[in-house]
Structure 1
Amino acid sequence: MISWSGPADFPRVGPVILSSTAAATDLVPVLVAGFGVGLSLIVAIGAQNAYVLRQGVRAEHVLPIVAICAVSDAVLILAGVTGIGAVVERAPVVLTVLRWAGAAFLVGYGLLAARRVFGTQSLRAGNGGGGSTLRTAVLTVLAMTWLNPHVYLDTVLLVGSIANTHGRSGRWSFGAGAALASFVWFAALGYGARLLTRPFAHPHAWRLLDALIALTMITIAVTLVLNG
């Protein structure tokens, strides 16, 4: 037989439900803050964004490139949230190796872009001549992502440090917001670049883009070497 002592039994359930709802509501601003911080770190002229833009304009391997960039950021953010940033901070040798390897790669890619500027091959938007294979595109974007020491300093150390100031539960919400920013930005950059198809129908526009890419890549490489 079930006994009931009256309405006094009900408040035991009410506060639990209300506290859970309040906790979930409190995590929303943290998620939004993570989204804002993540977006502020990603939206900048850099090697990775320049490459995604170029492939997006050409509508070439956009989905795998966007997926690799976004998932890589999510993995790095997860590493920062779980505290692996402390390990990275105590291993300066690893960052030094990445710095020199990344600089060498960026110089090489920058020179290739400069070569396209003065080349005779006509590049046009869409799936035309001068395209890269899926394997080349994947390896290129992986190198631009994982050989960049700044991605460890920004994504792992900075985002991880800020996330962990929000407590045990809040850090996951902050990290989720930062990861969401990566997915939104790279999808918008990769697929939104198709709006530039008409301006890039002329070879001179491609030469200008490749000139900017070459300048960006080599400048970042020099910055990596000089600033350490």
Structure 2
Amino acid sequence: MLSVAPVVLTGLVTGLSLIVAIGAQNAWVLRQGLLREHVGPVVAICAVSDAVLVAVGVAGMGAVVDRHPGLVDGMRWVGAAYLAAFGLRSLWSARRPGALEPARPDDRGRLRAVVGVTLALTWLNPHVYLDTVLLLGSLAQDHGADRWWFAAGALVASALWFTGLGFGARWASRWARRPSTWRVLDVVVGVVMLALAVGLVAG
């Protein structure tokens, strides 16, 4: 076990270096944490999705993606359109005080909406495929038979990051209950989403 510890650590550090960057997924997890709204499902979806994508990359599917760039290119345009729509929606919500109040935790309809947005921001984001399937998958291959230990480190990094971000924001939300906070948050999320959409279109 000690012999693979450096490989696991390398996977963990690499995973963190890729996932900590500000992006659509992180902005959404942060928003839900501050709103104290369905944080558990959001964190679980992000972590499990990362696990699936990393496993696919380590299994060798990264080479398939590399040989068919049209797949990623198609996702780029779909993702850009979705991010742009979500960003505009967030900016519009910031104009309406009534939209700034968090929904009830037991609102099942709202839970379905939150789950849908989380899945979309995860699976329609081409950067997720480039980082997890292609890049992490390629780096894992360098470790040969220990590649799955590298993947394990990356998955631990993902789980720790999303859990800390979501529940950390939820804990900190007690000091951010003013309506102006939600307005600023929606503006920031909207700007981030639009910036990412422009970046995707620009290639």
1:84 is matched with: 61
1:195 is matched with: 171
Q: Give structure 1 regions of 4+ aligned residues with deviation exceeding 3 angstroms.
A: 124-128
2:193 is matched with: 217
Alpha-carbon deviation of 1:58? 1.5
Structure 2 residue runs of 5 or longer lacking an equivalent are none
Distance (whole Å) between structure 1 residues aligned to residue 97 and residue 184 of structure 2: 14
Distance (whole Å) between structure 2 residues aligned to residue 131 and residue 78 of structure 1: 31
Q: Equivalent residue of 2:98, what SS?
A: coil
Q: Deviations over 1:77-133 (max 9, x none)?
A: 1011111100011111111111111011101110111011111316246848x9971
1:19 is matched with: none
CA contact 2:63–2:134 (8 Å) conserved in 1: yes
1:50 is matched with: 27
Q: Does 1:28 find its partner at 2:11?
A: no
TM-score, normalisation: structure 1: 0.84
1:162 is matched with: 139
> Alignment partner for residue 40 of structure 2, among 63, 66, 91?
63
Distance (whole Å) between structure 1 residues aligned to residue 36 and residue 109 of structure 2: 11
CA contact 1:163–1:175 (8 Å) conserved in 2: yes
Identity %: 51
Counterpart AA for 1:95: V
Higher relative CO (Cα under 8 Å, sequence separation at least 6) belongs to: 2
1:106 is matched with: 83
Alpha-carbon deviation of 1:134? 1.1
More helix by share: 2
TM-score, normalisation: structure 2: 0.94
> Alignment partner for residue 179 of structure 1, among 151, 155, 162?
155
Structure 1 residue runs of 5 or longer lacking an equivalent are 1-23
Distance (whole Å) between structure 1 residues aligned to residue 128 and residue 189 of structure 2: 19
Greater Rg by CA = 1
Counterpart AA for 1:222: V
